[in-house]
Structure 1
Amino acid sequence: MEKAFDLDEAWGTLVWLVMTTGMRRGEVCALRWSRVELDEGVVDVRSSYTTVRGIGKEKDTKTHQIRRIALDTETVGLLRERKKRCQELFGKLEAAWDEESFVFTGARGGLAEPSPPDAVSNRCKKMSTGLGIKTHLHALRHYSATELLTADVDLRTVAGRLGHGGGGATTLRVYAAWVAAADRKAAEILGARMPKRLPKGPNS
């Protein structure tokens, strides 16, 4: 995370957003300012961005769902700073500010095109390799999910943030180990609150 911000503010904010929201790479690339509600602390995930043979296009999310993800105070602050920088860039280029502009724009496309998903993945891979860390961009989404599950956030809420369909069935399948650990912890909590009924052994 620290390395990402050392490289540049936009890249650091993108990595941060993936880690705190669990958004897919195509979703974060397709994110427009009109879908970021800073005062409410919510991001509206409506689409995904993909490239085929070098041609980019916007499409539905993977599960064709529109979802709203709550943002924490730190993330809202980072996005406010990001928006300010974007507005300053529009001003320098003497362009009228457009709320439909992308939060993360590509280096070649200027203001009109988002960061290509493959370029984002490749940059993450290159950064992590340079740090001696074996990871990739999608693993940051897994980080978001597993941190929530191990913090005992309920399965339905985690599934909703990730955009998993099936009422949590997909989340349960992908993160079975973490769900099982949380379930075991829940059993022990409930068991500890119940009156003791088993007789004590001679060595108790």
Structure 2
Amino acid sequence: MPSARLPAGTIRQIHFILSGALKRAVRWRWIATNPIVEAEPPSAPRPNPQPPSAAEAAQILAAAWERDPAWGVLVWLVMVTGQRRGELCSIRWRQLDLDRGALTLARSIGQRDGEVWEKDTKTHQQRRLTLDEHAVGLLRAHQDLCRCNAEQVGATLGRDAFVYSRSPDGSTHLLPDSATQRYGKLAVATKADSVRFAIRNFA
């Protein structure tokens, strides 16, 4: 009986692991040559982005703001900047320069199989995004709301507080999977054809 063929993604991962191990074996002179250079892993599938249309985006944003203004600001920022979900969850107030309309992205939140950790961005590089006046205005209003929520519990909203948090003082970040699930429910509720952002952010 013929054995089942491994998925292309699994083969690529195995190739990557073996390639790194064998490169080190050559460097440490355990072997003379790296045999894996003769093997070609399957090509990665081409991305097939299917972002929401302008009408769908407006519908989703309107529904987000109606349910929770803070969630509306989050969805808006994703739509105008194309941030990945992990980067979005990691933003702290010190990364925002609202006077200059700039956002610096340097970290990301990873989540897999119940584990959550802070890490570098996917490209391992810091990048700076320019925010338009409307986005700056929304973030200022969001910051005022966060300060008010912190004061109500006798806390202070510090520069290291997370911009998007379920804690009144911003001490904890959102979970990437939770953001994805909430967006998915929102898109389904609004009957949008594009249930997820295919431009790498909530997916």
TM normalised by structure 2 equals 0.65
> Is 1:112 aligned to 2:159, yes or no?
no
> Is 1:78 aligned to 2:132, yes or no?
no
**Which residue among 124, 129, 132 is the counterpart of 1:64?**
124
Secondary structure of 2:198's match? helix
**1:136 and 1:63, CA in 2 relative to 1: closer, same or farther beyond 3 A?**
farther
- Tell me, yes or no, if the aligned pair for 1:30 and 1:114 is still in contact at 8 Å: yes
Show CA shifts across 1:52-95 (max 9, x none).
Answer: 34342211000101000000000000000010011111111111
What percentage of residue pairs aligned between the two structures are identical? 37
- 1:137 CA displacement: 4.1
TM normalised by structure 1 equals 0.65
Q: Structure 1: which 4+ aligned runs deviate by more than 6 Å?
A: none
- Tell me, yes or no, if the aligned pair for 1:29 and 1:115 is still in contact at 8 Å: yes
**1:136 and 1:106, CA in 2 relative to 1: closer, same or farther beyond 3 A?**
farther
> Is 1:8 aligned to 2:57, yes or no?
no
- Tell me, yes or no, if the aligned pair for 1:21 and 1:69 is still in contact at 8 Å: yes
**Which residue among 191, 197, 202 is the counterpart of 1:132?**
191
Match for residue 100 of structure 1?
160
> Between Structure 1 and Structure 2, which shows a larger proportion of helix residues?
1
Match for residue 165 of structure 1?
none
Q: Distance between the aligned counterparts of 1:59 and 1:51, measured in 2?
A: 10
- Over aligned residue pairs, what C-alpha RMSD do you find? 1.9
Letter in 2 for 1:74: H
Letter in 1 for 2:122: K
- Tell me, yes or no, if the aligned pair for 1:36 and 1:43 is still in contact at 8 Å: yes
In structure 2, stretches of 5+ residues that fail to align are: 1-60
In structure 1, stretches of 5+ residues that fail to align are: 143-204
Match for residue 8 of structure 2?
none
